[in-house]
Chains A and B, each alone.
Chain A
Amino acid sequence: GGGDENSSTEASGEGGEHTFTLTHITQTSHGWHDTAMKFDEELQELSDGRMDLEIYPAGEIGSEADMLQQMESGDIDFGIITNAYMSTRDSEFNAWFMPFVFEDLAEAVEYRGIQPAQDMLEGLSEQGFVGLDFIFAGNRHILNASEPVESPEQLAGQSIRITDGPAIQDFWDEVGAGPTAMPLPEVYTSLQTGVIDGIDIDLDALITENLYETADYLTMSNHMTWPAVVMMSEISHDGLSEEDQDIVREAMKNAIDWGVQDAVEREEANLAEAEELGMNINELDEEEFSEVKETLHQQYAEESDIIAEFLEETQ
């Protein structure tokens, strides 16, 4: 049967029942999916069973551009959209991609509530979304097929697969490596044959994409963190009574409080698994990259007040 999911969110007012929809890009084994399920639990509990959630994972209903389009028209209620994609729509989100800001993931998640981050979320109202919060995947590290990474000089001339995005691209250009765009499913064989030398990656993807099968050297660089923006369709949001809006916000806050802790634990568990799998793991000396860091921080702080403020608060 068609469309009943859509009409159910239209019924509003006291005691109305709501089956919300949420979509995200990751697999069902990923922490973001678990957080979405936690959100479902919280919704049911806080609303005494009036509200629940239907999840479309793994990009089942389209790319992130498609997801946002469906949220804009109010057809889908919630989205977990990568900060990388959001930064192509609003450059303020690049703040999170400033290199070597956070020691590790545990430190990064502590800053999700700071004012400049709130300002980014508020800016989303111009696009028809209600920005709710940030959620995190593991920090970015470097996986290399042939050698442990120790300095920028060593990366010169190497092809490193990255996820596209202006700040990420700028970082790797500044390092002097050759940033390469490639869809994730092609990475496995490309590391194997040597089309690419390495990949900018989080530990979760390293394990779930089985990339440890084709590349041995993991450098724990923590060079960037990897958030996603949790947001709601403004149409869906405005269709709710104030009480219900509060329930939704509280449920989401609880779910994400849980989700960021879960992400930190996953980071540790994934590292332990990588060790167990016999990977060659080294730590990166951040000092080697201090010039790259300074240059980029300065450049982006000049471009945006929010980024300047973000860097001030996090240093």
Chain B
Amino acid sequence: MLTALLAFIVLLLLRVPIALVLGIVTVLYIIISGSMGMLDTVPQRLFSGLENYSLLAISLFMLAGEIMNSGGITRRLVGFAQVLVGHFRGGLAYVNVVSNMLLASIIGSANAQIAMMSRTMVPAMEKEGYDRGFSSATTAASGLLGPIIPPSMLFIIYGVTSGTSIGAMFLAGILPGLLLGFSFVGLIAYLGYKEKWGSQRRKSLKEVSKSFFNVIPALSVPLIIILGIITGAFTPTESAAVACAVAFVTGFAFYRELQIKNIPKIMVNTAITTATVTLLIGMANVFGWLLSRERLPQEFADWMMTLTENPLVFLLLLNVFLLLVGMVLDGIAALIILVPIFMPMLATYGIDPIHFGVIICLNLAIGLLTPPIGAGLFIASSISEVRIERLTRAILPFLIVSILGLLLVTYVPQLVTWLPNLLN
């Protein structure tokens, strides 16, 4: 494993694309361990890692974002938000966080959310003078709320693998989600004060109403998504395709900024940005398969159990362990492997399964934003064209706040259990 780790670092430094680095390391490990029969499985596993319905949402939300930008929809939505909150210092950054919180209440996946918002918010914020790294970091960090504020794919999978009520998990996520969202707002306020960001003058009522009139057709995009999901017309994954269609009609027929001749370029861009992310996820799946085949996560978890009998220390170790796992494994794969291992331990330490579920899912969501393998980080990086190193630096304050939030959620279980207990 040490050789593999070393190879991993060297290959990264040689500017080999990260997706390929994962594949090369997996193959090297197999060759060194001498189990050549496993090599045949590499392309098969790569394929089936990609044959995943939920990846479609990432790709189609990227497409929707492209269409919204070309069709003048994003500009008007952001312009309207600017008119309302532009006189606050850091106004647009708050808009980013709050719209992510709203989006999180209809979408269950952080990656899909980051894909959509990076395409729209980052250019808009940059245009208003925000640093692109900061804009991209704000977007990626707020996307983390996607699987915490219900609905949530991670909670559903946790519910199923652990035998916990999914409805209760959804309720449990609300307070931690709000807590994180408002912590990000606080962080932005602090950064804005420290960096002395400017603000615009308050707009007159006439300007507000003109901008509102302008934005009405653009509002149809989020509105139709929200209504469609709530009324059961389509699933959150399908909403990505509906968003493309609505954005196309609005940009083409109402604003007349979208032209048929733009479409090929939009599609090509989408294909390249999608592939940057999905190829990485596919290769990470091959790598994850190797880890589970070798039972490394299991061995590590078993070893951790031997370290302490104190539940508070156990929870701390658990968080460290999960953060490390989240760095290298995809969230859903990690849940499937780890939950059955940890469930029997919970009784020993007297930990509520709902509380544990929120801890594990929050950890794995944070893992999406941590190098070296953070799908969310790469989505934000490739869409907003900010280099990974720069984005990592910009996202650090948000990660620190998230980890503080995680610790709070870990040691104040009432934050998680209060709402489900109240309503059951």
* Residues in A lying within 8 Å of B, measured CB to CB: 1-3, 6-7, 27-29, 56-63, 65-66, 69-70, 73-75, 182-186, 188-190, 193-195, 208-210, 213-214
Contacts and interface: CB of A to CB of B under 8 A. Distances in A.
A27 B32 contact: no
Nearest to B39: A73
Contact of A186 (B165, B237, B294): B237
B45 A213 contact: no
Contacts of B259: none
B282 interface: no
Given A183-B53, A190-B235, A209 B160 contact: yes
Interface in B1-59: 29-30, 32-35, 37-38, 40-41, 44-45, 48, 51, 53-54
B161 A58 contact: yes
Nearest to B292: A60
B306 interface: no
27 contacts: A2-B32, A2-B33, A2-B35, A3-B33, A6-B35, A6-B37, A7-B34, A7-B35, A27-B161, A28-B340, A56-B292, A58-B336, A58-B340, A60-B336, A63-B51, A66-B48, A75-B35, A182-B235, A184-B160, A185-B156, A185-B157, A185-B160, A189-B235, A193-B231, A193-B232, A195-B232, A210-B165
Contacts of A3: 33-35, 38
A2 B29 contact: yes
Contacts of B71: none
B184 interface: no
Contacts of A74: 37
B167 A59 contact: no
B230 interface: yes
Contacts of A29: 163
B318 to A, nearest CB: 20
Contact of A183 (B33, B37, B54): B54
A62 B287 CA distance: 12
A195 B41 CA distance: 36
Contacts of B248: none
Interface of B: 29-30, 32-35, 37-38, 40-41, 44-45, 48, 51, 53-54, 108, 151, 153, 156-157, 159-161, 163, 165-167, 229-237, 289, 292-294, 336-337, 340
A190 B166 CA distance: 13
Q: Which 10 residue pairs are nearest across A and B when measured between Cβ atoms? A: A2-B33, A194-B232, A3-B35, A193-B232, A3-B33, A75-B37, A69-B44, A63-B48, A6-B35, A73-B37
Q: Looking at B33, B40, B232, which has the most chain A CB atoms within 10 Å of its CB? A: B232
Contacts of A186: 53, 235, 237
A94 B340 CA distance: 33
Contacts of A190: 232, 235
Contacts of B151: 189
Given A3-B34, A183-B53, A185-B153, A194 B165 contact: no
Nearest to B52: A183
A208 B37 CA distance: 35
Contacts of B166: 188, 210, 213
A108 B40 CA distance: 37
Contacts of B159: 188, 210
Contacts of B336: 58-60
Contacts of A188: 156, 159, 166
A106 B263 CA distance: 58
